[in-house]
Structure 1
Amino acid sequence: MAYCDEQLVSSPVVGRFAPSPTGRMHAGNVFAALMAWLVAKSQGGRIVLRIEDLDAERSRVEFVDAVQRDFEALGLTWDEGPYFQHDREEAYQAAFEALSERDLVYPCFCTRADLHAASAPHRGEKPVYPGTCRSLGPAERELRAEGRVPAQRLVVPDRNVSLDDLVQGRYRQDLARDCGDFLVQRSDGAFAYQLAVVVDDAEQGVNSVVRGVDLLCSTPQQIYLQELLGLPRPGYAHIPLIVAEQDRRLSKRNHDAALDALLVRFKTPAAVIGHIAGLTGLAPTCDPTTPEELLGSFDLNALPSLLRNLVQIRWE
């Protein structure tokens, strides 16, 4: 039986690793992958490996190879994949056309400077798109297209979308007031993350999504896309971020927390896993351990009480 947003479902649990090949993994990436693995495997489930290389300019072949070696070295095995987003353009295009045929998307000619200047005040975690280009008429759109290739935005209604997150509990977002019309395709032609991820999760059978709490505010938009496209809704668990300091999450620029530096510091993959497990409360100590050993004592039902009040965990 699988946890899947407000209910237990009988379908097998399928989780995912979804790294972006733009650098070596860091401690925060390892924690997220470890949690995804534990949540799926504790329910007898499987893991899909998906390489999220939508950003062609920043993605590097050497990092694709490195992330797979890193997962293997850490004992974070996967059962299916790797799948690559660069191979999935036709699927994203089909989803985009399905939305376009229903007049749910429109061209947006705003530059980054325009968006920064015109965005409505923040409501929670992100700026709200004010609908600048939504009401442009055909003639105005044609005129603006002569000077700039537009991005494409999805029209959102003024309605609440909510979910019961396994870790964070009930979360609600009014799409119009708290987000605004959001991108489904960038001006360079690349499909946006929100669209790609819901199409990928559905086709790859992913019904358990474990990721950082910084992505919680994106989830209602993904749920809305799932509804529009007739795709199933996974269960979600948004976990605390490991941060370099308060309000600054780890990134691939934090070289002291990058996996190659961690292996120099801690000597073995088991010591890296053990330190992260102890730091985050998955284990009572920071002694070396493996994902398989952690699985023996992992309690899915205890996860909310363990992590719910933690938004950030300071890296040490």
Structure 2
Amino acid sequence: MTAISSPTYIGRFAPTPSGHLHFGSLVAALASYLDARSVGGRWLVRMEDLDPPREEPGAQAAILKALESYGFEWDGEMVRQSDRHAAYADVLNRLFSQGLAYACTCSRKQLEPYHGIYPGFCRNAGHGTENAAIRVRVPELEYHFIDRVQGEFRQHLGREVGDFVIRRRDGLYAYQLAVVLDDAWQGITDIVRGADLLDSTPRQLYLQELLGLPQPRYLHIPLITQPDGHKLGKSYRSPPLAEDQATSLLLRALRALGHNPVIELNDATPREVLNWGIAHWDASLIPRTLTLPEAQLQ
């Protein structure tokens, strides 16, 4: 087996309550859970409820209920990012006062021609923070890391991203700042998540460096796509997880992660499937890309 051997492993699953868990969420939860438990590590659950307008009523309770019905057990109390605003504000104010962040009044329409790379219009404008986003200044440097599945990933922050938002114009804190602060606060050593967040990681590496925080190890599992190329997600052909299909969907998720569970598990409980996964987990088996056959999408 190639799992990391560390008595201090702390992993986490951090769903966004914009909808119920779906099969793609299950694959991410399963990978993070097995990666932690296979080395005797801790596994935490954090609710990333930074964006109340996008949150679906009842989604938080439904997510926790689904995790429990699928046999997952987490350590400690669940943390909500909505309870962490004071910590985010403290760091944001410190960066602003040190000149490492600044107010930006650019509209989406102004920035459309730049295809997501901020051109620096407000960098030296000296705007006040009212009705403005807050951006952190990035260096003209390339950041890189070795992902345990995807391999080496490189990104030049200045050329490919530009100064990025850490607090939105509407006053809501941005994911990049919150996730870095929360992972450090919770002592997360290993981050296992979907590959859609791969290109966010260099921004997080920069914030970790800027704030003197430790860098976790990263494992980005492949996004599950359908035969037509669409990503399996909340908005496209991704029904909520059904409680009465826990065993079959856990087995399907194990197969998606490159593992081959024994046929005897077809009649097992979800907990028994998870125990088999813990005993046989090997992150090196995870494919870099994954397309599910049409028959497995039903």
TM-score by length of 2: 0.89
**Cα displacement string for residues 252-275 of structure 1 (whole angstroms, at most 9, x for unaligned residues):** 123553213xx5xxx431111112
Tell me which of 135, 140, 145 is aligned to 1:163.
145
Inter-partner Cα distance in structure 2 for 1:217 and 1:255: 25
Report 1:205-224 matches (<5 A). Answer: 205-224=187-206
AA in 2 matched with 1:222:
Q
**Cα displacement string for residues 220-250 of structure 1 (whole angstroms, at most 9, x for unaligned residues):** 0001001111111111000101123444212
Q: CA 1:150–1:247 in 2, change beyond 3 Å: closer, same or farther?
A: farther
AA in 1 matched with 2:211:
L
What is residue 283 of structure 1 aligned with on the other side? 260
Inter-partner Cα distance in structure 2 for 1:103 and 1:200: 23
Which runs of 5 or more residues in structure 2 are unaligned? none
What is residue 221 of structure 2 aligned with on the other side? 239
What is residue 124 of structure 1 aligned with on the other side? none
TM-score by length of 1: 0.84
Inter-partner Cα distance in structure 2 for 1:166 and 1:81: 28
What is residue 49 of structure 1 aligned with on the other side? 45
**Cα displacement string for residues 39-62 of structure 1 (whole angstroms, at most 9, x for unaligned residues):** 111111011110000001122451
Report 1:11-22 matches (<5 A). Answer: 12-22=8-18
Report if aligned partners of 1:48, 1:79 keep a CA contact under 8 Å in 2: yes
Q: Percent sequence identity over matched residues?
A: 39
Report if aligned partners of 1:195, 1:225 keep a CA contact under 8 Å in 2: yes
Which runs of 5 or more residues in structure 1 are unaligned? 121-126
Is 1:97 matched with 2:86? no
Where 2:219 maps in the other structure, the secondary structure is strand
AA in 1 matched with 2:161:
C
Report 1:31-50 matches (<5 A). Answer: 31-50=27-46
Report if aligned partners of 2:31, 2:257 keep a CA contact under 8 Å in 1: no
Tell me which of 66, 82, 86 is aligned to 2:82.
86
**Cα displacement string for residues 185-207 of structure 1 (whole angstroms, at most 9, x for unaligned residues):** 00011110000000000111111
Report if aligned partners of 2:70, 2:246 keep a CA contact under 8 Å in 1: yes
Question: Would you tell me which structure has more strand in proportion to its own residues?
Answer: 1
Inter-partner Cα distance in structure 2 for 1:246 and 1:181: 35
How many residue pairs are counted as aligned between the two chains? 288
What is residue 123 of structure 1 aligned with on the other side? none
Is 1:270 matched with 2:266? no
Report 1:118-137 matches (<5 A). Answer: 119=114, 127-136=116-125
Inter-partner Cα distance in structure 2 for 1:18 and 1:114: 33
Is 1:181 matched with 2:158? no
Q: What's the CA shift for 1:278?
A: 2.3
AA in 1 matched with 2:250:
I
What is residue 282 of structure 2 aligned with on the other side? 299
Tell me which of 242, 252, 259 is aligned to 2:234.
252
